[in-house]
Amino acid sequence: MAFPLPGPMRRALALADEAADCGEVPVGAVITRGGEMIAEARNAMREGSDPTAHAEIVALRRAAATLGTSRLDDCTLWVTLEPCAMCAAAIGLARVEALRFAAEDPKGGAVLHGPRLYAQPTCHHRPDVLSGIGEEEAAAQLRAFFAARR
């Protein structure tokens, strides 16, 4: 039995489509607080000539600006792809309460793969992590994007 996708993940997938339309790797992110979407972003590295402009980083910056604080203790980050090491570290530094992501990334992910950042003893904050929400849709976006470039 398939469950309907939560609204924030549906929005993150739409943002990933927008990223792909702009030639960016299709990743979208939404940050919620108390059920309200407070920030969103899509990958924009090429567009802004900024290697740090991953969807998660841009969404974290926007949420912090909206709330007027660097601590996002009561927020949930919804993202279409498992965060890389840079993004996973930033999520921890922001003290995000929960991380929800769609597709796992065996090559570049740093939450369930690679360095498994939140499992390290030096990690100061570990968000509650749940993966696989919208995994099929996100994986299809990524496959289509990279197939068109090969």
Question: Known binder of ligand: residue 84?
Answer: yes
CA distance 64 to 26: 23
Residue 126: how many CA atoms within 13 Å on its side-chain side? Answer: 14
Task: Judge whether 113 is annotated as a binding position.
Answer: no
| CA proximity to 85, closest of 119, 61, 59 | 119
- Any known ligand binding at 54? yes
Whether the Cβ atoms of residue 19 and residue 49 lie closer than 8 Å to each other = no
Which token pair is 49? Answer: 């000539």
Instruction: Tell me the two tokens of residue 127.
Output: 């968000």
- Of 29, 26, 46, 43, nearest to 140 by C-alpha is 26
Which amino acid is it at 92? G
- What CA–CA distance (Å, rounded) separates 142 from 49? 21
Active-site residue 24, yes or no? no
Active-site annotation holder among 40, 56, 82, 137:
56
Binding residues for Zn(2+): 54, 84, 87
Question: Which residues are annotated as catalytic?
Answer: 56
